[in-house]
Structure 1
Amino acid sequence: MGIQNKTKEETHTLEISPRNLMEETLQPQPDTGMGGKTIRYLEAWKLVKGVEFIQKWFFLLFKSEDSEKRLQERLRICPFSGSKEEETAYTEKLEEELRENIIEQIHPEQAKWFNPTFIIPKPHQKWRKILDASALNKEIQTIHFKMNGTDQVRDLIRKGDWATSLDLKSAFHHLIVYPPHRPYLAFEAMGKVYQYRAMPFGTQHSPIFFAQALAMVLTKIRRESDIRILNYVDDLLLLHQNKERLREQTLTIMKILETFGWTIAQEKCEIEPKQQINFLGWTWDLKRMYIKMTDLRKQELRYQLKRLISLTEKQVPIKIKYLASIIGKLNFLRVQVREASLYLKLMDSAKTRALKNKEWRENMIPPKEILQELYWWHGVIVRNQEMTLEVRIPEAVMVSDASPKGWGVTLELQTGDTLVQHGEWNKEQKKWTSNKKEMEAIFLGLFRYGQVFKELQIKAILIRSDSSTAVQDLAKQRAGLTLVAEVKKIVRLCQQLRIQIQTQHIPGVQNKITDALSRLSTQGDYSVKKEIFIALCQAWQIIPTLDLFATGENKLVDRFVAIGEEEEGAEWLNAFSRPWKEEIFWIHPPIPKIGKALIAWERFKPKSIMIAPWWPGQIWFTSLLTDSSRYLILGESSLILNPGK
Structure 2
Amino acid sequence: MVSDGSSSSSDSESDPSVVDARRGDGRARSRSRETTRSRTPTSEVYAEVLGAGVVAPAAPPDLEDAVSKVRVNLTEGDLHKHRGFAKGSAPGSREREAWMDSLPLVNDVSAMAPRLEKGIRGRDMKVNMSERQIIGIHDGLFSALNLITLSNVDNIRGTVEEAKYRDRAQRVISLLIQDVTVIRRESALTSIGLPPGTVSGIRKRTLDLVSENHPSLDNETVHNLFTSDMLEDIKKALKKKEKEKKAENRSVVSFHIPKVVTVSPKSKSVTPGVIESEAPLSKSVNPIEQENKNFQNNAIESFIVPKFAEIQAPLTAGRLKHFICNWKLITRDRWVLKTIKGYSLPFKSARGIRSPRYRAPKITGEVIEKEAQELLAKKAVFKIRKTKARWISPIFLVPKKDGSQRPVINLKGLNKKVIVKHFKMENLLMVKDLITKDAFMAKMDMKDAYFGVPIKHKYRKYLCFQVNGQMYAFRALPFGLATAPRVYTKVIRPIAAFLRKFGINLIVYLDDWLFLADTAEKLKSDLKLASLVLTALGLIINKEKSILTPTQKIEFLGLEIDSTTLCFSVPISKRERIKYQAKALLNSSITKARTVAQFCGLLASIKLASDYSALKARFLQKMLKGVSYKAKGFDCVLNLSTDAIAEAEFWVNAKSEVFSRRILVPPISMVVRTDASLLGWGCAFNGQKTGGRWNLEEAKLHINVLELRAALFGLQLACKGIKDVGIRLESDNISAIAYINKRGGTKSHDLLTAAQEVWKWALENRIYVIASHIPGIKNTDADSASRKFSENCEWELNQNTVLRLFDKWGVADVDLFASRANRKCEKYYSFQSEPGALGTDAFAFSWQGIKAYAFPPFSLVGKTLQKALSEGTSLILVTPDWTSMPSWSKLISVAEGPVLINGNNAFIALAGDDRKCLDRNFHLAAWNICSSVLRKWHKFCANHEIDSKNPSPQFIINFLQEVGDSGIGQSAIGTHRAAITSLLTAAGNSEAIKAAEPFLARFSKGLLRTKPTDPKRSDIWDVDEALNWIRKCWPLESLSPKILTLRTVLLLALCSPKRANELAAFSLDKFKKSPTVWEFRLVITKNRGFGTPHEARYLKFPEDKSLCPVENLEYYLKFTEPLRKTDKLLLSYQKPYGSIGSSTISRWLKFALAEAGIEGFTGHSTRSAATSAAAAKGLSTAHILSAANWSTRGSTFQKFYCKEVDQSFQETILG
**TM-score between the two structures when normalised by the length of structure 1:** 0.69
Distance 1:144 1:424 in 2: 49
Match of 1:378 in 2: 652
**Among 380, 385, 401, which residue is 1:102 paired with?**
380
Which residue identity does 2:672 align to in structure 1?
Answer: M
Change (3 A) 1:30 1:334: closer
* Residues in 2 aligned to 1:470 and 1:76: alpha-carbon distance in whole angstroms: 48
Counterparts in 2 of 1:429-468, with a 5 A limit?
429-449=698-718, 451-453=720-722, 459-468=725-734
Residue identity in the other structure for 1:68 = I
Residue of 454, 476, 480 corresponding to 1:176 = 454
CA distance in 2, matches of 1:357, 1:100: 40
Task: Tell me the equivalent position of 2:776.
Answer: 508
Matched, 1:251 2:528: yes
Indicate how the Cα distance of structure 1 residues 450 and 393 shifts in structure 2: closer, same or farther if over 3 A, else same: closer
1:476 aligns with 2:742: yes
Q: SS in structure 2 opposite 1:19?
A: coil
Residue of structure 2 equivalent to 1:37? 319
1:46 aligns with 2:328: yes
User: Which sits farther off after the overlay, 375-384 or 302-311?
Assistant: 375-384
Distance 1:364 1:65, change over 3 A: farther
Q: Matched residue of 1:395: which SS? A: strand
Query: How far is 1:379 from its partner?
Result: 3.1
Note closer, same or farther for the CA distance 1:208–1:451 as it changes in structure 2 (3 Å cut).
closer
Q: 1:394 to 1:111 in 2, by over 3 A?
A: same
Match of 2:577 in 1: 300
Query: Which position in structure 2 is the counterpart of 1:289?
Result: 566
Q: CA deviation at 1:469?
A: 2.6
- Counterpart among 509, 517, 525 of residue 232 in structure 1: 509
Q: Distance in 2 between matches of 1:88 and 1:325?
A: 28
What code does the residue aligned with 2:715 have? L
Alpha-carbon displacement from aligned partner over 1:568-612 (angstroms, at most 9, x marks no partner) = xxxxxxxxxxxxxxxxxxxxxxxxxxxxxxxxxxxxxxxxxxxxx
1:381 shift after superposition: 7.1
| Contact 2:321 2:341 (C-alpha < 8 Å) held by counterparts | no
One-letter amino acid matched to 1:60? L
How do 1:136-215 and structure 2 match up within 5 A?
136-215=414-493
| Change in CA separation of 1:177 and 1:381 when aligned onto 2, cut-off 3 Å | farther
Please tell me whether the aligned partners of residues 29 and 41 of structure 1 are also in contact (alpha carbons under 8 angstroms): no
Pair 282,458 (structure 1): closer, same or farther in 2 beyond 3 Å: closer
Shift of 1:295: 2.3
Q: 1:331 & 1:269 partners in 2: Cα distance?
A: 25
If each structure's strand is expressed as a fraction of its own residues, which one has the higher value?
1
Query: Take 2:652 and 2:256, find their aligned partners in 1: how far apart are those partners?
Result: 49
Distance 1:18 1:103, change over 3 A: farther
Q: CA contact under 8 A between 1:405 and 1:424: conserved in structure 2?
A: yes
Quote the Cα distance in structure 1 between the aligned partners of 2:359 and 2:627: 31
Give 2:549's aligned amino acid: E
The structural deviation recorded for 1:398 is 2.6
- Report the Cα distance in structure 2 between the residues aligned to 1:356 and 1:283, rounded to whole angstroms: 36
Distance 1:400-1:46 versus aligned 2 partners, 3 A rule: closer
**Within 5 A, what are the aligned runs for 1:355-366?**
355=628, 358-366=631-639
TM-score w.r.t. the length of structure 2 is 0.38
User: In structure 1, what residue type is equivalent to 2:647?
Assistant: E
Alpha-carbon shift at residue 487 of structure 1 (Å): 0.9
More RCO (CA 8 Å, sep 6+): 1
User: Aligned-residue CA RMSD in angstroms?
Assistant: 2.8
User: In the alignment, is the contact (CA less than 8 A) between 1:396 and 1:458 conserved in 2?
Assistant: no
Amino acid at match of 1:230: I
For residue 19 of structure 1, what is the amino acid of its counterpart? I
Alignment partner of 1:391: what SS?
A: coil
- Provide, for residues 189-225 of structure 1, a one-character-per-residue CA deviation record: whole Å limited to 9, x for no partner: 12211111111111011122211221122222222x1
SS class of match (1:452): coil
2:398 is paired with a residue of what secondary structure? strand
TM-aligned CA distance change 1:326 to 1:291, over 3 Å = same
- Bigger drift between 457-466 and 15-24 goes to 15-24
User: Structure 2: 5+ residue runs without aligned partners?
Assistant: 1-118, 120-234, 236-252, 262-273, 275-306, 781-1215
Q: Is the 8 A contact 2:258 2:309 kept in 1?
A: no
Look up the match of 2:346: 61
Deviations 1:504-558 (A, max 9, x none): 333123999xxxxxxxxxxxxxxxxxxxxxxxxxxxxxxxxxxxxxxxxxxxxxx
1:422 aligns with 2:422: no
Distance in structure 1 (CA, Å) of the matches to 2:493 and 2:538:
14
Task: Work out the CA distance in 1 between the residues paired with 2:552 and 2:508.
Answer: 18
Residue 367 of structure 1: which of 640, 651, 657 is its match? 640
Question: Which one-letter code corresponds to 2:550 in the other structure?
Answer: P
CA contact (8 A) 1:38 1:54 kept: no
Give the distance between the partners of 1:510 and 1:496, measured in 2 at CA. Answer: 31
Whichever residue aligns with residue 394 of structure 1, its letter is: I
Instruction: Report the counterpart of residue 554 of structure 1 in structure 2.
Output: none
Distance in 2, Cα, partners of 1:218 & 1:17: 21
Q: Please give the alpha-carbon distance, in whole angstroms, between the structure 1 residues aligned to 2:647 and 2:683.
A: 33
Unaligned runs of 5+ in 1: 3-14, 82-86, 413-417, 513-645
- Name the SS of the counterpart of 1:334 in structure 2: coil
Maintained 8 Å contact 1:276/1:283:
yes
Structure 1 residue 419: deviation in Å? 4.8
Correspondent of 1:354 among 607, 621, 627: 627
Using the TM superposition, give the Cα deviation of residue 486 of structure 1 relative to its aligned residue in structure 2, in angstroms: 0.9
Alpha-carbon distance in 2 for matches of 1:117, 1:458: 51
Native 8 Å contact 2:461 2:473 kept in 1: yes
CA distance in 2 between counterparts of 1:323 and 1:180 reads: 43
Shift of 1:494: 1.1
Contact in 1 for aligned 2:442/2:549 (Cα 8 Å):
yes
Q: State the Cα distance separating 1:307 from its structure 2 match.
A: 2.0
Deviates more, 1:457-466 or 1:91-100: 457-466
Cα distance in 2 for partners of 1:468, 1:57 equals 48
- Tell me if structure 2 keeps the 8 A contact 1:302–1:381: no
Please say if residues 298 and 381 of structure 1, whose CA atoms lie closer than 8 Å, have aligned partners that are also in contact. no
In the alignment, structure 1 residue 261 sits paired with structure 2 residue 261: no
Task: Give distance in 2, aligned partners of 1:298 and 1:16.
Answer: 50
Residue 47 of structure 1 and its aligned partner are, at CA, apart by 0.6
Residues in 2 aligned to 1:75 and 1:232: alpha-carbon distance in whole angstroms:
34
Cα deviation for residue 166 of structure 1 reads 0.5
Aligned residue pairs, count: 479
Return the offset for 1:399: 2.8
